[in-house]
Structure 1
Amino acid sequence: MNWKSFLLGAGVGIAGGYLLKETLDTKTLHSPEKVLHAVKNSFKKEGPIDGSWIGMVPESYEVYPVKTKVYRGGISRRQDGELQQYEFVADSTNGTVLNIQKIS
Protein backbone atom coordinates (compact mmCIF):
# COMPACT_ATOMS: atom_id res chain seq x y z
CA MET A 1 0.00 0.00 0.00
CA ASN A 2 1.24 3.44 -0.90
CA TRP A 3 1.33 6.04 1.91
CA LYS A 4 0.21 8.79 -0.47
CA SER A 5 -2.93 6.82 -1.36
CA PHE A 6 -3.62 6.10 2.30
CA LEU A 7 -3.25 9.74 3.35
CA LEU A 8 -5.35 10.94 0.40
CA GLY A 9 -8.11 8.47 1.31
CA ALA A 10 -8.01 9.45 4.98
CA GLY A 11 -8.13 13.15 4.10
CA VAL A 12 -11.11 12.68 1.79
CA GLY A 13 -12.88 10.61 4.47
CA ILE A 14 -12.32 13.22 7.16
CA ALA A 15 -13.43 16.07 4.90
CA GLY A 16 -16.51 14.14 3.78
CA GLY A 17 -17.45 13.29 7.37
CA TYR A 18 -17.11 16.91 8.44
CA LEU A 19 -19.26 18.17 5.55
CA LEU A 20 -21.90 15.52 6.26
CA LYS A 21 -21.99 16.49 9.94
CA GLU A 22 -22.43 20.19 9.08
CA THR A 23 -25.21 19.41 6.62
CA LEU A 24 -27.09 17.20 9.07
CA ASP A 25 -26.75 19.72 11.90
CA THR A 26 -28.31 22.51 9.85
CA LYS A 27 -31.03 20.38 8.21
CA THR A 28 -32.27 18.41 11.23
CA LEU A 29 -35.90 19.15 12.01
CA HIS A 30 -37.86 18.41 15.17
CA SER A 31 -40.68 15.95 14.74
CA PRO A 32 -44.03 17.78 14.43
CA GLU A 33 -45.52 15.24 16.86
CA LYS A 34 -42.95 16.17 19.51
CA VAL A 35 -43.61 19.89 19.00
CA LEU A 36 -47.38 19.35 19.33
CA HIS A 37 -46.87 17.20 22.43
CA ALA A 38 -44.84 19.97 24.10
CA VAL A 39 -47.43 22.64 23.28
CA LYS A 40 -50.26 20.41 24.52
CA ASN A 41 -48.43 19.80 27.80
CA SER A 42 -48.06 23.55 28.30
CA PHE A 43 -51.79 24.12 27.72
CA LYS A 44 -52.74 21.20 29.98
CA LYS A 45 -51.12 23.02 32.90
CA GLU A 46 -54.01 25.52 32.72
CA GLY A 47 -56.75 22.93 32.16
CA PRO A 48 -57.94 20.16 29.86
CA ILE A 49 -57.86 20.54 26.08
CA ASP A 50 -60.53 19.33 23.62
CA GLY A 51 -58.45 18.94 20.48
CA SER A 52 -55.24 19.77 18.70
CA TRP A 53 -53.64 19.66 15.27
CA ILE A 54 -50.33 20.42 13.58
CA GLY A 55 -49.22 20.71 9.97
CA MET A 56 -46.74 17.97 9.10
CA VAL A 57 -44.84 19.97 6.45
CA PRO A 58 -42.69 22.93 7.55
CA GLU A 59 -43.65 26.30 6.06
CA SER A 60 -41.52 29.36 5.39
CA TYR A 61 -41.94 32.05 8.04
CA GLU A 62 -40.41 35.50 8.02
CA VAL A 63 -40.35 38.15 10.69
CA TYR A 64 -38.06 40.80 9.33
CA PRO A 65 -35.11 40.09 9.10
CA VAL A 66 -35.37 36.50 10.40
CA LYS A 67 -36.37 33.71 8.01
CA THR A 68 -37.00 30.17 9.22
CA LYS A 69 -39.14 27.08 8.67
CA VAL A 70 -42.04 26.55 11.07
CA TYR A 71 -44.86 24.20 11.93
CA ARG A 72 -48.33 25.69 12.31
CA GLY A 73 -50.80 24.10 14.67
CA GLY A 74 -53.79 24.69 16.89
CA ILE A 75 -55.31 23.87 20.26
CA SER A 76 -58.95 24.05 21.32
CA ARG A 77 -60.33 23.92 24.84
CA ARG A 78 -63.37 24.91 26.83
CA GLN A 79 -63.15 27.54 29.51
CA ASP A 80 -66.26 28.60 31.44
CA GLY A 81 -68.36 26.59 28.96
CA GLU A 82 -67.05 28.58 25.99
CA LEU A 83 -64.92 27.09 23.21
CA GLN A 84 -61.54 28.80 22.87
CA GLN A 85 -59.21 28.16 19.97
CA TYR A 86 -55.54 29.05 19.68
CA GLU A 87 -53.16 28.90 16.77
CA PHE A 88 -49.42 28.55 17.29
CA VAL A 89 -46.27 28.80 15.21
CA ALA A 90 -43.23 26.75 16.27
CA ASP A 91 -39.71 26.71 14.85
CA SER A 92 -39.14 23.38 13.07
CA THR A 93 -35.41 23.23 13.84
CA ASN A 94 -35.57 23.56 17.63
CA GLY A 95 -39.28 23.29 18.55
CA THR A 96 -39.47 26.76 20.13
CA VAL A 97 -42.94 28.31 20.04
CA LEU A 98 -42.63 31.64 18.25
CA ASN A 99 -46.22 32.87 18.48
CA ILE A 100 -49.56 31.86 20.01
CA GLN A 101 -52.70 33.69 19.00
CA LYS A 102 -56.25 33.28 20.26
CA ILE A 103 -58.57 32.95 17.25
CA SER A 104 -61.98 32.61 18.94
Structure 2
Amino acid sequence: MSKGVSTITDAEFETEVLKAEQPVLVYFWASWCGPCKLMSPLINSAANTYSDRLKIVKMEVDPNPQTVKEYQVEGVPALRLFQGNTVLASSEGVIGKDKLLDFLETHLNNN
Protein backbone atom coordinates (compact mmCIF):
# COMPACT_ATOMS: atom_id res chain seq x y z
CA MET A 1 0.00 0.00 0.00
CA SER A 2 1.29 3.44 -0.87
CA LYS A 3 2.26 5.70 1.99
CA GLY A 4 1.41 8.77 -0.07
CA VAL A 5 -1.43 11.19 0.39
CA SER A 6 -4.91 9.71 0.04
CA THR A 7 -8.03 11.67 -0.83
CA ILE A 8 -11.03 11.35 1.48
CA THR A 9 -14.61 12.62 1.69
CA ASP A 10 -17.00 13.61 4.48
CA ALA A 11 -18.28 10.02 4.55
CA GLU A 12 -14.77 8.62 5.13
CA PHE A 13 -13.61 11.23 7.65
CA GLU A 14 -14.52 9.39 10.84
CA THR A 15 -12.93 6.11 9.76
CA GLU A 16 -9.84 7.56 8.07
CA VAL A 17 -9.08 10.34 10.57
CA LEU A 18 -10.87 10.10 13.90
CA LYS A 19 -10.43 6.33 14.25
CA ALA A 20 -6.87 6.17 12.89
CA GLU A 21 -4.24 4.63 15.15
CA GLN A 22 -1.61 7.24 14.36
CA PRO A 23 -1.79 11.03 14.06
CA VAL A 24 -3.43 12.27 10.86
CA LEU A 25 -2.69 15.49 8.99
CA VAL A 26 -5.72 16.64 7.00
CA TYR A 27 -4.90 18.97 4.13
CA PHE A 28 -7.93 20.99 3.03
CA TRP A 29 -7.67 22.34 -0.52
CA ALA A 30 -9.69 23.50 -3.52
CA SER A 31 -9.17 23.06 -7.25
CA TRP A 32 -9.60 26.82 -7.81
CA CYS A 33 -7.05 27.72 -5.10
CA GLY A 34 -3.76 29.01 -6.50
CA PRO A 35 -1.89 28.83 -3.17
CA CYS A 36 -3.00 25.19 -2.82
CA LYS A 37 -0.96 24.38 -5.92
CA LEU A 38 2.10 25.65 -4.03
CA MET A 39 1.32 23.58 -0.94
CA SER A 40 0.56 20.26 -2.64
CA PRO A 41 4.21 19.32 -3.34
CA LEU A 42 5.11 20.10 0.28
CA ILE A 43 2.29 17.90 1.54
CA ASN A 44 3.45 15.05 -0.72
CA SER A 45 7.02 15.50 0.52
CA ALA A 46 5.85 15.40 4.14
CA ALA A 47 3.92 12.20 3.41
CA ASN A 48 7.15 10.56 2.25
CA THR A 49 9.20 11.93 5.15
CA TYR A 50 6.77 11.09 7.95
CA SER A 51 5.07 7.96 6.60
CA ASP A 52 6.31 5.90 9.56
CA ARG A 53 4.54 8.04 12.17
CA LEU A 54 1.93 10.12 10.39
CA LYS A 55 -0.95 9.53 8.00
CA ILE A 56 -1.70 12.36 5.57
CA VAL A 57 -5.01 12.78 3.78
CA LYS A 58 -6.39 15.56 1.62
CA MET A 59 -9.93 16.76 1.42
CA GLU A 60 -11.35 19.07 -1.22
CA VAL A 61 -13.47 21.69 0.55
CA ASP A 62 -16.29 22.27 -1.93
CA PRO A 63 -17.67 18.69 -2.11
CA ASN A 64 -17.17 18.12 1.65
CA PRO A 65 -18.97 20.93 3.49
CA GLN A 66 -19.78 18.91 6.60
CA THR A 67 -16.17 18.41 7.71
CA VAL A 68 -15.17 21.90 6.60
CA LYS A 69 -17.88 23.40 8.80
CA GLU A 70 -17.26 21.11 11.77
CA TYR A 71 -13.54 21.92 11.90
CA GLN A 72 -14.02 25.61 11.05
CA VAL A 73 -11.94 25.68 7.90
CA GLU A 74 -12.27 29.30 6.81
CA GLY A 75 -9.68 29.46 4.06
CA VAL A 76 -7.56 27.16 1.95
CA PRO A 77 -5.02 25.76 2.01
CA ALA A 78 -5.62 24.64 5.58
CA LEU A 79 -4.10 21.98 7.80
CA ARG A 80 -5.55 20.18 10.80
CA LEU A 81 -3.45 17.69 12.74
CA PHE A 82 -5.56 15.10 14.55
CA GLN A 83 -4.84 12.48 17.17
CA GLY A 84 -8.11 10.61 17.56
CA ASN A 85 -10.92 13.13 18.09
CA THR A 86 -8.52 15.86 19.17
CA VAL A 87 -7.17 18.61 16.91
CA LEU A 88 -3.55 18.96 18.03
CA ALA A 89 -2.78 21.88 15.74
CA SER A 90 -4.19 23.88 12.86
CA SER A 91 -2.92 26.26 10.23
CA GLU A 92 -4.53 28.23 7.43
CA GLY A 93 -2.82 29.77 4.44
CA VAL A 94 0.36 28.83 2.63
CA ILE A 95 3.29 27.87 4.81
CA GLY A 96 6.80 27.11 3.64
CA LYS A 97 8.61 23.82 3.95
CA ASP A 98 10.48 24.82 7.12
CA LYS A 99 7.31 25.95 8.85
CA LEU A 100 5.49 22.78 7.79
CA LEU A 101 8.28 20.62 9.17
CA ASP A 102 8.31 22.60 12.44
CA PHE A 103 4.50 22.29 12.62
CA LEU A 104 4.75 18.50 12.32
CA GLU A 105 7.89 17.94 14.42
CA THR A 106 6.51 19.91 17.35
CA HIS A 107 3.48 17.68 17.65
CA LEU A 108 4.85 14.34 16.50
CA ASN A 109 7.69 14.42 19.02
CA ASN A 110 5.22 14.88 21.85
CA ASN A 111 3.55 11.53 21.17
TM-score greater than 0.5 by the shorter chain? no
Higher normalized strand content (fraction of residues): 1
Larger Rg: 1
Tell me which of the two structures has the higher relative contact order, counting C-alpha pairs closer than 8 angstroms and 6 or more residues apart: 2
When normalised by structure 1's length, the TM-score is: 0.28
